[in-house]
């Protein structure tokens, strides 16, 4: 899937190839568990999660044979 024109994550999920759907359903289930208080949204044609007043800090997309998972610097925890 290239940059989607879907307005909602539900629309984006409905357009997925059925073979990839279970992996994206799991991502969609896990993100809110781990990112409590973050809002789900479509941004730049991809589903993502971020604080309500900020850009998405986590996003994912479907690419030919794989899943693109993007995590911004606010998500990555440094190892001490």
pLDDT along the chain (80 residues), means of 10: 82 88 91 89 92 86 84 67
User: What is residue 69's predicted lDDT score, i.e. its pLDDT?
Assistant: 87
Dihedral angle at the C-alpha atoms of 42, 28, 60, 58, nearest 10 degrees? 80
What pLDDT does residue 3 have? 74
Phi-psi map region of 12: left, alpha, beta (phi>0 left; psi -120 to 50 alpha): alpha
Helices (H) and strands (E) in the chain, counts: 2, 4
**What per-residue confidence (pLDDT) applies to 18?**
81
pLDDT at residue number 26: 93
Instruction: Please check whether residue 60 is in contact with residue 68, taking contact to mean a CB–CB distance below 8 angstroms.
Output: yes
CATH T-level assignment (fold) for domain 9-71: 3.90.1150
Specify the pairing of strand 58-63 against strand 46-50: antiparallel
| Average pLDDT across the chain, whole number | 85
């Amino acid at each position: 899937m290239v940059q989607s024109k879907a307005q909602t994550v539900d629309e984006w999920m409905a357009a997925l190839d059925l073979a990839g759907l279970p992996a994206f359903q799991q991502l969609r289930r896990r993100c809110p568990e781990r990112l409590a208080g973050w809002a789900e949204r479509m941004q730049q044609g991809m589903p993502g999660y971020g604080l309500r007043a900020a850009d998405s800090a986590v996003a994912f997309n479907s690419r030919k044979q794989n899943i693109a998972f993007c995590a911004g610097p606010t998500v990555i925890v440094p190892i001490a």
